Homo-oligomer: A and B are copies of this chain.
Amino acid sequence: MPRPLSPEILDQIAGRFRVLAEPARLRILYSLMGGERSVTELVEETGLSQANVSKHLGLLRRARFVDRRKEGLYAFYHVSDPSVETLCEIMCGRLEAQLAEQVALLEAVS
């Protein structure tokens, strides 16, 4: 039973989905799920360029998916939205279910 959703709300929801709709940002989030990371550490773990990582982090932070703690020269980021992991798990679960479906179909043929 969905509650009434105005076009403005749908725009905002779509915007939040869009932030997660990028492999690079999911890679960053996935690293951050292992705990707090500096930008340099994220660059190493993801293989992305420093400018690129900073830009993605800015987006993720503006969307409130992550937050930042500055310490001297470093900036440490961490996931601030507990729903991120749930969202990814749901998506991943559906992928698995669909894959299993495909396999079942193929086996039914043979």
- Residues on A lying within 8 angstroms of B by beta carbon are 2-3, 5, 7, 9-18, 20-23, 25-27, 30, 33-34, 64, 81, 83, 85-95, 98
Copies of this subunit: 2
Chain B residues whose C-beta falls within 8 Å of the C-beta of A89 in the assembled complex: 2
Closest Cβ–Cβ distance, residue A108 to chain B (whole Å): 18
Most buried by B among A11, A27, A34, A88: A88
User: Do A94 and B16 touch (CB < 8 A)?
Assistant: yes
Chain B residue with the shortest CB-CB distance to A4: B30
User: Do A27 and B10 touch (CB < 8 A)?
Assistant: yes
Closest Cβ–Cβ distance, residue A90 to chain B (whole Å): 5
User: Do A16 and B91 touch (CB < 8 A)?
Assistant: yes
